Structure 1
């Protein structure tokens, strides 16, 4: 896109001033993917510990109304939308429990509990808070940084969507712009009605083509605080006689290679499978040759198994690896 975004726009996406300054100087960006690539590099390689803490501090406590004090603030409005599912599903008792656990978390780690709350219920968030609470501070700090990046990517998408719409309307004369706005509202309402009627009729709504492979990964070296380059990655799908590999027999025959790659300087694996619209439901496995990357480490290789259900075949699955010589973790990203 041609219009140059301002520092305040990027500050709304991530509360680190260093991040906003670097993004502003790196722009303008031709598209969202280019902006996200720059954002990841800046966040993990150029923003220091103080910048991470500054970004964490910009987030409200989960369960609070973030726009109560600053109703016109873009970041607060976005945060309110991201927490909408949690707030809608919360009860007085669950909100109180969230508040109590947030206070315990703050006392232990020194920063707000950070999670990409979009689409998550209050009970899901509370369960994740309790699960992460026993973590060592250095581990939790890294997880919080990863969650911040998820939030930043969502907000960059919102920012680009807003900018594109504004640019489109600004190039039209007032009469055409008004007509276009009306058409957009009708299109949105019509899309919702179509999706609802198709769902009630048992039909699959039409999905727009993908812009990236449906399964992706990246590797972050937690011990060094940097992307892990040069790691061999394999993606396989289970196609054995059993519907799924039995527990204890996960490494027996039946796995079919979908693709392989090597992580680049940003820790990303490149294309592991073909650009397809609908995934085949089933069990998938991503394997990482961690022993070659870290010969002195505890893990000769790491394999992550996950299941994609029929209802999820149109979704995107980002399954990263957070690695240190003696531990690793993963999550489902976006």
Structure 2
């Protein structure tokens, strides 16, 4: 299965392991055309702490690749949010977390079609602990 153009990877710094089974929400915050806002997607991190594909929250919503492919210009910008449900996830492991959720907002510049040159991939890695987190623009 191919991956969506926006992915994430979460590592649990408390245990030094991937953050498996962590609920994650990806939301389109703004787009050149307001008709696409807001659109949300849901996923659960896999055993390696990764999300490669997103499921639209509503069945009528377009996919992440469809949204980016439909942008009006090659340098169009869209703002996104990826939210990790940290509090309940740590609580289920018997660990108290300072964070109920961790949200990372970022800008995607560009559009394209999967398989075409110029298709940009945005990877959001997160190092996550019950009292701290960090993130950066991944590759």
Distance 1:225 1:276, change over 3 A: same
Partner of 1:256: 39
Distance 1:285 1:275, change over 3 A: closer
Partner of 2:97: 297
Q: Given the alignment, which residue of 294, 315, 321 partners 2:126?
A: 321
Partner of 2:65: 276
Distance 2:42 2:48 in 1: 17
Distance 1:232 1:278 in 2: 22
Distance 1:266 1:311 in 2: 28
Structure ranking higher on relative contact order (CA contacts 8 Å, 6+ apart): 2
Give secondary structure in 1 for the equivalent of 2:88: helix
Distance 2:134 2:78 in 1: 22
Distance 2:128 2:110 in 1: 30
Distance 2:28 2:66 in 1: 17
Tell whether the 8 Å contact from 1:212 to 1:275 is kept in structure 2 after alignment: no
Partner of 1:233: 24
Tell whether the 8 Å contact from 2:54 to 2:64 is kept in structure 1 after alignment: no
The structure having more radius of gyration, on CA atoms, is 1
Partner of 1:193: none
- How far apart are residue 238 of structure 1 and its match? 1.4
TM-score, length basis structure 2: 0.69
Q: Once superposed, what is the RMSD of the aligned Cα atoms?
A: 2.8
Tell whether the 8 Å contact from 1:288 to 1:302 is kept in structure 2 after alignment: yes
Q: Per-residue displacement from partner, 1:253-305 (whole Å, max 9, x unpaired)? A: x6321x21111211112412636378243100000100111130110001100
Distance 1:283 1:321 in 2: 18
Distance 1:311 1:277, change over 3 A: closer
Runs of 4+ in 1 over 3 A off after TM superposition: 310-313
Distance 1:300 1:331 in 2: 21
Matches within 5 A, 1:98-247: 211-239=2-30
In structure 2, list runs of 5 or more residues that go unmatched: 56-62, 72-76, 113-117
- How far apart are residue 311 of structure 1 and its match? 7.5
Distance 1:275 1:300, change over 3 A: closer
Higher helix proportion, which one?
1
Partner of 1:308: 108
Tell whether the 8 Å contact from 1:320 to 1:330 is kept in structure 2 after alignment: yes
Tell whether the 8 Å contact from 2:3 to 2:52 is kept in structure 1 after alignment: no
In structure 1, list runs of 5 or more residues that go unmatched: 1-32, 34-210, 244-253
